[in-house]
Every structure is written in structure tokens, then in C-alpha cells.
Amino acid sequence: MKKIAVVAFGGNALLRANEIGTIEQQEKNTLDTCEKLIGLLRNGYNIIITHGNGPQVGNILLRNEAGYSQYKIPKMPLDICVADSQGGIGYMIERQMRNAISKTNLRRNVVAVITETLVDINDPAFENPTKPIGPYYLKEEAELLAKANNWVFKEDARKRGWRKVVASPKPIDIMNKKVIKDLVNHGHIVIAVGGGGIPVYLHADTKYLEAIEAVVDKDLASSVLARNIKADRFYIITDVSKVCINFNKPNQRELNKLNVSEARRYYDAGEFPAGSMGPKILAAIEFVEETGNEAIITSESEIGKENCGTRIIKD
């Protein structure tokens, strides 16, 4: 049986920071990223691709508001918006992955799976929204939108602007993990856990499954999936080639390799902000602790290269 790699696409795999997000830009970026995964396929990995949806679901929410204010089109709840983004982004990755494979002698099926993620309705995250979604705004714009829509905004840790934030509960389980595992074990490339999955919870008494207004962090949800299916490697793709401490300071330093204890020490010391590198480090730590396998945080241009990125290993 081939090895399994879970590859979590960051937002930059679809949309670069200096772009407005046209479909042409997103498709080109997606194809470029998918082509980087060919090396993993050639090196004997079956792969699962997960992805973020922050800019896309934010735009869907804006369309929600515009459609209601101008045409009285009923607003859709956040879980439906997440599902919409899963379908659209999943389709785009699926098609561009097929295009990347068509340039090789490889033969793989590619399938996108709409994915629900189980959360706890009593998670304290619902009392403290922290997950950024949508575009960046000036402070004055954010204040106006907050008043008009009862939204919550917070300033980006890297001072790029203000973004809407929503609750981000901890992922407990990936609902269709068995189907995903079966597909990848048969050699199919699977796209799953889009945007962290659609958050749902179970009523304790009836076991009725219900959606909840939230966004699950895609790196933490990807880690849950990678652990559940016992992946051999977990890649987290972001916009930097390596993790740094003292980020954006004169004494900034890149990290080539960390064991779990070192990674957790830096995490506990506040080196990795919650809205940026923090969830990626925590996702990697949890994967390595449970499986004993390696997690790699790197940029899409580096994936597949020998000794790429920051490697997190067991103590």
C-alpha cells in the first residue's frame, strides 16, 4: 500500500496577496500549486488535498448582503456559505489537478468530497470569535460594517488591515473520514475538509445533526483527518518557506527542524499568533504527537523539494 500525504493548501495556493481574486487568477494559482504535487505522486504518495476558504467565503457573505439589500434575496447562513465555497473551490482544484496530471504519464482519478466537521456546541470559542474571514478593510470601513451588520472585526496580526472574525470551535471529528480513507487507499486524489469542513454538532438527546454558525480552522481540521486516517506525512502550505521566530523583527530567525517539545515551547511563549502561524503549529504538533510521523510547514513553491520547509518531528 502506498504512503498517504495530507496536503493543506493555504489561501495563497488559490489567491496571492496582491491579487483581487478573479477566477483567472485563482485558476492559474491553483494549477501552479497542483503541479507542485506531481513530485509527491511520483515519490509514491497517495494524496488528500484540503484547503482554506477565507477570502472566498467572505466574498460569498458580501454577496449575501448585496443580494438582500438590493433584491431582497434571502440571506443564507454561514454553513451554507461554507458548503458553497467547498463546492466551488473543490471543483477548481479537481479540474486543475486533472490538468496537471494530464501533462504526465500518471493516471489518477480526482474527486472532491463535501465534508462536515463535528464540533461541540459548548465550545468556549462561541463566546470569543477569533477566526478571520473575508477581505481586509480599513479601520473606518470595518467600523461601519460592524455597526450595519452586527459583525465583529479584529486587526490582522501583520497589520494588513481589519477582517471580520467568527467563532472557530475545535474540530472533534471528520464525518466522512472512512469514505475519504477508502478513496485515497484506492489511489484516488481526494479533495476534502474544504474551509475546515462545514461545522455541525449532535444534539445529546436525539443525536440530530445540526449546523452551527462558525468556521473551523482548516489546518486543525486537516490534522484531525490526517491523524484519523494515519497519514504518513502532513504538509501545511502557507505563504512563507519556513516558520520563523521573532517574525518581522530585526532578530527574525528561520527554523529548519523542530521537535514537538521545542515547537510547543515556542507556541506557549506566544511566538505564533492565533490568527496566523499558531493554528498551523498546533495542527502539526497534534499530528506528530499522535502518529509519530513528520509534519512539514512550507510554501507551495518549495513542496516536494528535499528538506523543504520547517519539519516538525517527534521528540
Bridge-based pairing state of the strands 162-166 and 3-9? unpaired
Instruction: Identify whether 181 is a catalytic site residue.
Output: no
Query: Of the listed 36, 181, 242, 280, which one is catalytic?
Result: 280
> Which of 10, 12, 58, 194 does the annotation list as catalytic?
12
DSSP β-ladder status, 209-211 and 233-238: unpaired
Active-site hit among 36, 164, 181, 218 = 218
Identify the CA nearest to 120 among candidates 78, 77, 173.
173
Residues in the chain: 315
Active-site residue flag, 11: yes
b/e map 145-157, b = 16+ CB within 10 Å: beeeeebebbeeb
Dihedral, 25, 28, 29, 30 alpha carbons, nearest 10: 120
247, 269 contact by CB (below 8 A): no
H or E segment and range at residue 22: none
Decide if 147 is catalytic: no
Q: What is residue 234's DSSP assignment?
A: E
Select which of 46, 53, 131, 181 is catalytic. 131
Residues β-bridged to residue 296: 235, 311
Respond yes or no: is residue 218 known to be catalytic: yes
Query: Is residue 62 within 8 Å of 22, Cβ to Cβ?
Result: no
Has 305 been annotated as catalytic?
no
Amino acid at position 165, single letter: V
- Positions of E strands within 78-155: 110-112, 116-118, 131-137, 152-155
- Just list the catalytic residues: 11-12, 131, 218, 280
